[in-house]
Structures are given as C-alpha cells and as structure tokens.
Amino acid sequence: MKTLMLVLVGPNVHVTLVNILMLRRTQSSLARYFLRASSIQSRIFKKHYRRAPSPNTAEVTQLLAEHASSPTRPLNLSDLLAFGRPNVTPESVLASVSFALAEIPRRLATRVCSLEALPFIVGTNPYVAKTLAAYKESFLWLATYPTPKTLEENAMFAEKLEDLVERHADDIPTMAKGFQECSRYMSPAQINEFLNGAIRNRISVRLIAEQHVALSRAVNSSGSTNLDVVDRYCSPARMINMCGSFVTELCEATLGASPSILLDGFPDATFPYVPVHLEYIFTEILKNSFRATVEHYSKNGGHMKDLPPILVTMSPPPKLPGNGNDPTFFSMRIRDQGGGVSPSHIEQIFSYAFTTAGRKADGKSLEDDDDRGGPYAAQYVGGSAVIGDGGMGEGNLFGEITGKGLQTGLGTIAGLGYGLPMSRLYAKYFGGSLELMSLEGLGTDVYLKLRCLDEAVDSTI
C-alpha cells in the first residue's frame, strides 16, 4: 500500500506501478535464467570432471621400476607350448606357473608405463584412468603373489588368474571411450600406434594366462586331446558355422533379415591354430558382410528373401615336395555382395582413429558426411555403439552384441568398430595377413591367410 501511495502521490517519483511490476518480473526471469544456467553448467562440469590419477605408492613405484627395466626376454610360441608337450605333468604345470608369474607382471608393467606416458590431459580422462588403475591393481597382485609349490596351491592361483582375465574383459572398450573423448589431443597415427601396442600386449598376456589355466585343468583330467590354447585340428568350417549362427541371430534381431553362408573349396580341412583368435576374426568379418548385404539390398529395393549368400572359400596349404622350410598358411576368402567400400574410405577402414574419434582423418565429423563409405564400412558405428548412451537406434551397428556376451575371450570389444583393425592385428600376430579388396557397387572380398602354428615355433609372443 505504501508503494502504491508513493507512485500515485509522490510529486518527484516518475516510476509507475507498471514499471515496478515489470522490473520485478524481469528480475524474477533473470533469476530463473541464471539458476537454470548454473544447473546446466553444474551438470556439464560434473559430467566432464577430470581428476589426475592417484600417485603410485612407494611399493608400486619400486615394483614397476624393477619389472619394466628388466631385460626383455625373447619369447616364442614354442616356449609357451613346451609346458604341455608331449604330456602335461605336475612338474610342467609348476614350471608353467613360475613362467606365468615372471612374464605377465613384466608385460603389465610395460603397459602401465605406456599409459602413464600418455599426454597428461589424456591420462586424466576417467576412462583412461580407470584402465590404468585396473592394470596397476592386477600388476601389484601378480608381482607380489608367492609362487605356488604344489598342485593344490597352483589350482587356487589358476582360478584367481582366470577371474583376473575376465575382469579385464572390458579394458579395450573402456580405453576406446577415453580415446574417443581425447581424440583432439592425439593424432590418428599416435592413436593407432598406442592401440596396436596395447592390443598386442593384451594378446600376449591372455595367451600366457589362458595357456596356464588350460594346463592346470588338463593335469587333473584324462583323455583330453587338446591340452593347450592351440587346437591342433582347428576346423575353420566349424568356426564359420558357429560364428555365422551367432551373427545370423544378431542380424535378424537388428536388421530383420540375414544372408546365408555357403562354404566352398575344402571345408573339411583343419589346421593348428588358436580357436579364440579365429572366432574373433570370423565374427567381425561376418558381421560387416551381413550388415553390408542387408543394407545394400534394402536401399536398392531388393527383396529380403533374395539376399545373396556370403561365400567362404577355404584352401589349406598344398603339400609340395621341397618346401619343408617355408612357412605354410591356411588361406580363406570371405566374399559378399554388399556394395563394397567407397574409395574415399578404403584407406581408413583399418584405422582405429577412424572409429574411436567418431570422425574421419580430415577432422570432419562422420555425422556430417552423407557418404558413409558404403554399407560395408561398418567401422563408423563402432566407437560409440557399445560404450556410448546404449541406444539401439538404426545407427548402432549390432550394439546389442554387448548384451549377447560373445565369448571370444575379448569381452565386449566385438561391435566397437575396432573389428577390422583388430582382426588384422590378430591375423598378423603369428605372421599371417588380412587384406580387403572392394568392387564399389558390387561387394567386398576379404582375404585371410593364417599361419599353421605347428611350424610357427619362431613366432614371437
């Protein structure tokens, strides 16, 4: 009432009642605006809050220095397999556990040091920091574990080692999310170099760990014909059928249709190889081929019941006189009619940065590019498909593969978009190769050559 009187009767007051009400309304709106902006800013800071990794304890620092500076021990496949051949004995199992406790911590120490050497802003990323913390924890446990002296003590260790391997199943997806968020701070070449080293290190650690777990199981069993991680009679046809069944189910659930698989050449042939590696390679290649075929025919108005099959041709090494000293390879070709890969993307298809950064090498966002390289270029979807918001939209390349839990010993890495570069790395690990040939508008051939491991005793692990 006093305010009203001032406005109405005060001779020197030029502010009307309407002005006051408008001012109060404006102040209220501004208050709400700044409150809302403050809330948004708070959420942004909370989401992107970075914290430097915790410093190492004196014990961890000393152990890391000891293991990382120890002379590199040349390790061949023959060294690893020797513990189970010709027979598994209590003595060979105890020798294997000593070997594992000497080699795995050294390799983990190398990986910890590599992560710590990343640019500071990359190391503070929560996903990268989480991976580093997991490696440190496992390293400390293994580096301080007393060497088992009896089979009973070894059985307890083998069980814990197997659990440790499973706990690290999501290391690569976690690290991928970190690199996706930090792509502006590292070049594609740096990302590729780091991830190649990280994945090769991971492969070697898992080979050593899983070999020891296999031997620990075999020493108490009888009648087993395969006592280590290398299956001497690995059947590519059986692996193709197994992986094809999985990808078929996944493709039909995601895209509503799936092509069939035809085996050609020598489907009954076998060769010595690591089944887990073959399973991962086949799953990734088939996943790309299936999606390419379905999307290509859908885009061109084709009937889903008339999808052309995926043709898998198998060729074992020829038995020729005089080539006893030459390496032998099991060769395969996986052919689809999914439209091929755009020439503008063919050079990038094996790049981690092409997917983890969510953008092309020239810095242009993939979302801004109408030409996504053809349906076979399944790499795009990866980086955020599994580890992003978890959406199951059209752009999510088989994102539900995470929920399906493909047991390849690689956890949820399948579906990340790391498929082709990782498949090539697995193929090359023992001296093989993986090459891709594309006929744009028609389809893609993937040529896979895998070395027969019964003779690859010189392959470095």
Per-residue pLDDT of the chain (461 residues; tens, 9 = 90+): 444 433 344 444 444 444 444 445 545 554 554 445 444 444 433 444 566 667 778 888 888 888 888 766 667 777 777 787 777 888 989 999 999 999 999 999 999 999 999 999 999 999 999 999 999 999 999 999 999 999 999 999 999 999 998 888 878 878 878 888 888 898 888 888 898 888 888 888 999 999 899 898 888 776 555 567 888 899 999 999 999 999 999 888 888 899 999 999 999 999 999 998 999 899 989 998 998 999 888 887 777 778 999 999 999 988 766 556 677 899 999 999 999 988 888 877 887 755 433 444 344 444 444 444 333 333 332 322 233 333 333 333 333 333 333 333 322 333 445 778 889 999 999 889 999 999 988 999 999 999 988 776 666 76
Tokens of 372: 């996504």
Sketch the domain layout of the chain as residue ranges.
2-47, 58-218, 236-451
Using CA atoms, how far residue 71 sits from 66, 68, 106, in Å, is 10, 8, 10
CB within 8 Å of 40: residues ≥ 6 apart:
none
- Sheet with 433-439, edge to edge strand ranges: 261-265, 310-315, 329-336, 443-451, 433-439
| Secondary structure letter of residue 53 according to DSSP | P
Give CA–CA dist 243/286, Å, rounded: 8
Per-residue b/e over 233-257, b at no fewer than 16 CB within 10 Å? ebbbbebbbebbebbbebbeebbeb
Rounded to two decimals, what is the model's pTM? 0.73
What is the CATH architecture assignment of 58-218?
Answer: Up-down Bundle (1.20)
Predicted pLDDT at 330:
95
Predicted pLDDT at 311:
97
Answer whether CATH 3.30.565.10 is correct for domain 236-451: yes
Give CA–CA dist 459/32, Å, rounded: 67
Establish whether domains 58-218 and 236-451 are of one fold. no
Predicted pLDDT at 222:
62
Total Cβ atoms within 10 A of residue 78: 14
